[in-house]
Chains A and B, each alone.
Chain A
Amino acid sequence: AQSVSQHNHHVILSEAASLELGCNYSYGGTVNLFWYVQYPGQHLQLLLKYFSGDPLVKGIKGFEAEFIKSKFSFNLRKPSVQWSDTAEYFCAVRLSNYQLIWGAGTKLIIKP
């Protein structure tokens, strides 16, 4: 069965540290890839997406993600995190039947 793995369930960083959240999926077909974010008390919202072309995509608030097809990965990165980045981050993969498969999420806590 298709699945999405987010390796870290909890990540704690200090402000200005660099961030990388892992996401791997198991599906051999064409996919679209997404990162969503849920800030405390807010709704889920789209952070960035990849459809095709340049495997390095940039999203809102300085986030970026790189699609590495050979590794079935779509890791999220940010060079310098801020306290306001504290949130839960979800990786999602859209299959060829348009269904979205979600990872379990990573809770990120930024210490001021």
Chain B
Amino acid sequence: KAGVTQTPRYLIKTRGQQVTLSCSPISGHRSVSWYQQTPGQGLQFLFEYFSETQRNKGNFPGRFSGRQFSNSRSEMNVSTLELGDSALYLCASSARTGGLNSYNEQFFGPGTRLTVL
């Protein structure tokens, strides 16, 4: 099975621009989560989508948005980029979301490294 793929792998933008990142989950996986990873901060949860519906959202401003398509592919959009948005953006997919005592392992992609100048 192919793993989680993210495109593009690297991106350089300037302040004020907007960017769209793409994530293709493992075939059959319906849950996609997005994270922002910065040195010293670990992973900050952005949002999770399951069957085209946003199930959870982290504490990020409205400039960060996402969506999921019927084929489970997901996109994340950041508008009006700021210098502080420079980070590695990770996507993770899992087979399904279940009850608290069932966990479907999240499989991570390689990330998109965004640099805002």
Measuring CB to CB, which residues of chain A are less than 8 angstroms from any residue of chain B?
Answer: 4, 6, 9, 30, 32, 43-46, 49, 51-52, 90, 92, 94, 96-105
Contacts and interface: CB of A to CB of B under 8 A. Distances in A.
Given A43-B110, A98-B55, A32 B42 contact: no
A90 B42 contact: yes
B56 A101 contact: no
B28 interface: no
Q: Contact size class for B?
A: 20 to 34
Interface string B73-117: 000000000000000001010000100110101111110000000
B97 A98 contact: yes
B68 interface: no
B100 A99 contact: no
Contact of A98 (B4, B100, B107): B100
A96 B106 CA distance: 17
B103 to A, nearest CB: 6
